[in-house]
Homo-oligomer: A and B are copies of this chain.
Amino acid sequence: MNLVVSHYQKDIDMKNLSDQPCLIARSLALVGDAWSMLIMRDAHAGLTRFDEFRKSLKIAPTMLTARLSALTEDGLLEKRRYSDRPPRDEYVLTEAGRDFLPVLFAIGAWGRKHRGGGEVTRFFDAETGTEIDPVTIDRGTGAPVGTRAIRIAAAE
């Protein structure tokens, strides 16, 4: 399963995950590894530069280059020049990248419930000051996902 890159080539995922009808599989073709998710997390926390990510994640620079390129290529990040001399680029979230935040919060919510305890980073609503308690609901019924029966259809 190679979710990434060799050289100047775009991601080649296993079994063409990105061509499958399942949208979960398609998404995982892009961000289905821990590094990519953690980069997205850090990008949401405001990091933009290569060295910021590298130090935060203690990731090998080769890996970081590959992941940043892939995420940029896939439209979750955007390269932006912030200095011409020396030439320096930073990576900022695109709209698609910002839309990824709910996924991170859903993962975090699961973690809080099932891997909580000890020292934990928490998030608060800046205005109300209440801790954020993420729930994924179906906009149609308003019910939390998993509380009602679901029917699957392989449609167009």
Contact = CB atoms under 8 A, between A and B. Distances in A.
Interface of A: 1, 3, 14-15, 17-18, 21-30, 32-35, 37-38, 41, 45, 58, 63, 75, 96, 98-116, 118-141, 144-146, 148-156
B115 A27 contact: yes
Contact of A138 (B30, B99, B120, B134): B134
B124 A96 contact: no
B140 A24 contact: no
Task: Summarize A's interface: helix, strand, loop or mixed.
Answer: mixed
Contact of A111 (B26, B129, B145): B26
Given A22-B121, A124-B151, A150-B132, A38 B34 contact: no
B155 A120 contact: yes
B23 A108 contact: yes
A154 B99 contact: no
B121 A21 contact: yes
B136 A148 contact: no
Given A24-B38, A135-B137, A123 B110 contact: no
Interface centre among A98, A112, A152 (most CB of B within 10 A): A152
Interface centre among A17, A102, A127, A129 (most CB of B within 10 A): A102
A120 B23 contact: yes
Given A33-B33, A96-B110, A103-B106, 17 more contacts: A15-B58, A23-B109, A24-B41, A28-B38, A28-B107, A99-B114, A100-B110, A102-B136, A105-B106, A118-B156, A123-B150, A123-B152, A126-B149, A128-B141, A130-B140, A133-B139, A134-B137
